[in-house]
């Protein structure tokens, strides 16, 4: 069985959905499981609904109307007015309205997961109906009945044994199956999510449980490139790379592959293909087992808007294990992701991502116990398989604040000019 995953950009409007249907028809008209994300920027739109609902904002109805009109416009371009899909979608909006009216929980992460899931449910209902309309019979199913997790809302951990048992027994591997990425459910049937951009991970879970032939992630780029084309000029397609190299790139922040996706694939040696939905005839990138696969050229990864913090003891004593473990616990408590670490005898420096906007609280918590020097708005460049020319091209972009080098990788913290 083959696993396909289509992200939001590939299903953002009616023409995009027709293109996805064309790809499925030519590449996977049987024995294929298709994982689909919310359409376009709908995850962001549903996050606005979550915030407005949780904070009791008056514009909540407007935000809901925007989402409903968005999906209605797509349906009107694909279906006749009397198609059953309108009733199916109305039922989903009714379920969302029921939750908003009846919920009494004050737990933000729980509320988030119960609302955000409707993006994927809506997109897959519409796509499944359109495939049926054009003659591609398929099975739509609710992934929450298949992937089971703990109750760590917004970043749930998969119960692998139960999930594998369910998927193995319930998925019809001879048909086209349409289901949702990113979402799952716990043992009380409440919706959970696998972390932002978790649809890739969903594809990996099904591939592992079904011993799939391959996983294909369809994206708006030709495959895995040696750099982000939005940041770097003259990028190069990597035709094939190993699991190990892909995991390294994901660890350092390459956005084309979700970090958790590769682990289940590597365990079962399921190849991962990254291909373009814009040019579906092109082969893209193959990620598989092997130690001598590409790349042998420098690969550039950049993380923007980072914070560099240098921490030292107020009495100039050594920064040793007890200081560092305490600081790491605080970093964890404030959900600050550490992307680089460097320490000397009396200082400890970290380059961190302030995704959850909790750095100021972290700073205020530590400022009376340590001396903190902070530089905000800096960039972290990572170069795998670096050479002198690659390093020079990065250093030309600004002032280097910190550099860390190992055999295969160099990381440079840069203050832009």
Q: Residue 388 contacts by C-beta under 8 Å, 6 or more apart in sequence?
A: none
d(CA 61, CA 48): 11
- For 155, counting Cβ atoms within 10 Å of its Cβ (0-12 exposed, 13-18 middle, 19+ buried), the class is middle
120 annotated among ligand-binding-site residues: yes
What is the rounded (10 degree) CA torsion for 7, 253, 237, 200?
Answer: -30
43 annotated among ligand-binding-site residues: yes
H helices, E strands: number in the chain: 13, 16
331 close to 408: Cβ distance less than 8 angstroms: no
386 annotated among ligand-binding-site residues: no
175 annotated among ligand-binding-site residues: no
Distances (CA, A) of 386 to 231, 298, 376: 18, 5, 26
87 annotated among ligand-binding-site residues: no
275 annotated among ligand-binding-site residues: no
8 annotated among ligand-binding-site residues: yes
Q: Residue 87 contacts by C-beta under 8 Å, 6 or more apart in sequence?
A: none
Tokens 């009616």 locate to 14
Distances (CA, A) of 264 to 70, 200, 215, 267: 35, 11, 11, 5
**Residues that constitute the known binding site for substrate:** 43, 120
**Residues that constitute the known binding site for ATP:** 5-8, 230
**Residues that constitute the known binding site:** 5-8, 43, 120, 230
């Amino acid at each position: 069985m083959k696993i396909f995953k289509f992200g939001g950009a590939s299903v953002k409007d009616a023409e995009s959905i027709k293109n996805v249907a064309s790809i499925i028809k030519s590449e996977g008209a049987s024995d294929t499981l298709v994982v689909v994300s919310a359409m376009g920027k709908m995850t962001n739109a549903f996050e606005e609904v979550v915030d407005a609902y949780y904070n009791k904002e008056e514009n909540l109805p407007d935000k809901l109307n925007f989402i409903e009109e968005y999906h209605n416009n797509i349906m009107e371009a694909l279906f006749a007015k009397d198609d059953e899909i309108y009733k199916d979608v109305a039922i989903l909006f009714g379920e969302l309205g029921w939750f908003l009216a009846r919920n009494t929980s004050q737990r933000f992460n729980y509320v988030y997961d119960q609302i955000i899931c409707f993006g994927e449910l809506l997109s897959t209902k519409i796509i499944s109906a359109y495939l049926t309309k054009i003659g591609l019979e398929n099975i739509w199913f609710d992934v929450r009945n298949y992937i089971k997790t703990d109750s760590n809302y917004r970043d749930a951990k998969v119960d692998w044994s139960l999930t594998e048992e369910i998927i193995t027994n319930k998925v019809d591997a001879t048909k086209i199956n349409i289901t949702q990425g990113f979402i799952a459910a716990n043992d009380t049937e409440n919706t959970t999510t696998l972390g932002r951009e978790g649809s890739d991970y969903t594809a990996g879970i099904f591939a592992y449980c079904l011993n799939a032939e391959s996983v294909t992630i369809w994206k708006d780029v030709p495959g895995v490139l040696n750099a982000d084309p939005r940041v770097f000029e003259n990028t190069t397609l990597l035709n094939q790379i190993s699991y190990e190299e892909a995991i390294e790139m994901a660890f350092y922040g390459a956005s084309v592959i979700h970090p958790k996706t590769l682990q289940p694939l590597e365990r079962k040696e399921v190849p991962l293909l990254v291909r373009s939905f814009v040019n579906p005839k092109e082969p893209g990138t193959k990620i598989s087992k092997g130690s001598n696969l590409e790349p042998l050229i420098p690969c550039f990864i950049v993380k923007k808007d980072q914070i560099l913090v240098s921490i030292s003891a107020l009495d100039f004593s050594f920064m040793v294990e007890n200081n560092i473990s305490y600081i790491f616990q605080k970093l964890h408590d404030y959900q600050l992701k550490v992307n680089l670490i460097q320490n000397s005898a009396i200082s400890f420096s970290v380059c961190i991502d302030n995704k959850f906007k909790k750095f100021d609280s972290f700073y205020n918590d530590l400022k009376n116990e340590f001396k903190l020097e902070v530089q905000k708005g800096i960039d972290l460049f990572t170069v795998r398989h670096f050479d002198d020319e690659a390093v020079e091209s990065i250093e030309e972009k600004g002032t280097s604040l910190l550099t860390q080098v190992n055999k295969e990788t160099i990381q440079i913290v840069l203050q832009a000019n």
